[in-house]
Structure 1
Amino acid sequence: MVFIAEQERVEGFTHVLLITTGSVASVKAPLIVEELLKHEKVKIEIVATQPSLTFFNVDNVTKAGGRVWVDQDEWKVQWLSSFSDYKIGDPILHIELRRWADVVLVAPCSANTLSKIAHGICDNLATSLLRALSPTTPTYVFPAMNTLMYEHPLTSEHLRVVQEVVRYTVVGPIGKGLACGDVGLGAMTEWRDIVQIVVDRFKLILK
């Protein structure tokens, strides 16, 4: 499937791009999609890192009304045939998706992806998209990791860069019992609160 932003955007709609990364909190992705799509004039696309697919079933997101993109979708032309089949001007998925998005949610943002964002690494579809993203696109990062990973001294530096240099809005994490059994700060912001951020910013109305 070829994604071309100008064909996928719908006038008057809010286009939400959800990025899921390698945290167990990715299990909330279907709930976020389903709840957002209860509102009028909302379109949603999901970019999932490979590790995040451990935690949710793509079919559940599809049934909720979303569409999931993965690394293999990025350069499918080259992978399925010869490089000579790719022509200058052909659509590139991470560029088309960033042109499409009105708002980007990185929910959850694992310690690994947080580090990649802070260092400008773009080695998968999600981080390539973020590196190509316009600075005017509202982007929210919702950290989710083990408490000791969150308390690691590098994490505070990564968060500083993401907020002060890259200018993304960081929300959370929150304290609660974690999936690993530890109790402490590091859990992703509650999924309903993530939805509410989009609802409030774009003044969405329930159907």
Structure 2
Amino acid sequence: MSAASKFIASERRRPNTTNVLLMLSGSVASIKAPLIVKELLTYNNVAIEVVATKASLTFFRPEDIRAQSVNVWVDEDEWNPDYKIGDPILHIELRRWADVVLVAPCSANTLSKIANGTCDNLATSLLRALAPTTPTYIFPAMNTLMYEHPLTAHHLRTIHEIIGYTIVGPISKGLACGDVGLGAMVEWRDIVLLVAEKFQLTKISGGNGASTLPT
């Protein structure tokens, strides 16, 4: 049975709660997703849903996120074989639910899809259906030469100037492939802090605000 029938935005939204939709694409930086989720959950009144592309599943274990009582949605969840007109559509329900969208990491492939309006999976269908008023942040993560490719600059301009998303990063560091240079996703803690500062989130009572999570 499709998981899409289990998610209806109007039933999931709660008063005074910040709904964070974390979208993962095919970059090794997806390995940081469980850390991002765990740290976001140290704040009051935060709800999280995760959308993962097929390629991103190479780099993390969905059960590490689901163990934190957070859903990980994949392409196979999108359509129920018994779908009837009027049934909930997952990418629509998720975009209705989200207060903020983080594409972290955003691979070169997903960057290209967003810039060109492609919607061939759950993640890109959701972005194409997203209201322009929903704050959306793109965190590029790719090999240095992929980032320096002329098309990347074109895609980034389109995403920023035409679509209106906010681009954050990348940064320069040693990459998983062994190269050193610009192209790495910004530090995962900085992604969490961006959300915390934007929505003025407070730490859950009893915490000192200092993360004890590994890097």
Aligned partner of 2:41 among 37, 46, 49: 37
Distance 1:99 1:86 in 2: 20
1:108 corresponds in structure 2 to 105
Which segment drifts farther, 8-17 or 59-68?
Answer: 59-68
Name whichever structure is richer in helix by fraction.
1
Runs of 4+ in 1 over 3 A off after TM superposition: none
Partner of 1:152: 149
Corresponding residue for residue 181 of structure 1: 178
Q: 2:66 aligns with which of 55, 62, 68?
A: 62
**1:140/1:168 contact within 8 Å kept:** yes
Aligned to 2:77: 73
**Map of 1:130 onto structure 2:** 127
Whole-Å Cα distance in 1 between the matches of residues 186 and 104 of structure 2? 9
Query: Counterparts of 1:41 and 1:90 in 2: how far apart (Å)?
Result: 29
With normalisation by structure 1, the TM-score equals 0.95
SS at 2:173 equivalent: strand
Once the two structures are aligned, what percentage of the paired residues are identical?
69
Taking the aligned partners of 1:183 and 1:134, their CA distance within structure 2 comes to 37
1:24 aligns to what?
Answer: 28
Q: Distance in 2 between matches of 1:133 and 1:121?
A: 13
SS of aligned partner of 2:103: strand
Partner of 1:5: 9
- Which residue is equivalent to 1:81? none
* TM score, norm. by length of structure 2: 0.92
Secondary structure of 2:104 counterpart? strand
Aligned residue-pair number: 200
Q: Corresponding residue for 2:96?
A: 99
Encode CA deviations 1:97-133: one digit per residue, 9 max, x unaligned.
0000000000000000000000000000000000000
Output the CA distance in 1 between the equivalents of 2:160 and 2:59. Answer: 27
Deviation at 1:11, TM superposition (A): 1.1
Q: 1:185 is paired with a residue of what secondary structure?
A: strand
Counterpart residue identity of residue 122, structure 1: C
Q: Distance in 1 between matches of 2:83 and 2:185?
A: 39
Superposition deviation, residue 66 in structure 1: 1.7
Give the Cα–Cα distance (whole angstroms) in 1 for the partners of residues 110 and 24 of structure 2: 10
How many angstroms does 1:65 deviate by? 3.3
2:114 is matched with 117
**Structure 1, unpaired ranges of 5+:** 79-84
State the superposition RMSD in angstroms.
Answer: 0.6
Corresponding letter in the other structure for 1:52: S
1:51 to 43, 49, 55: 55
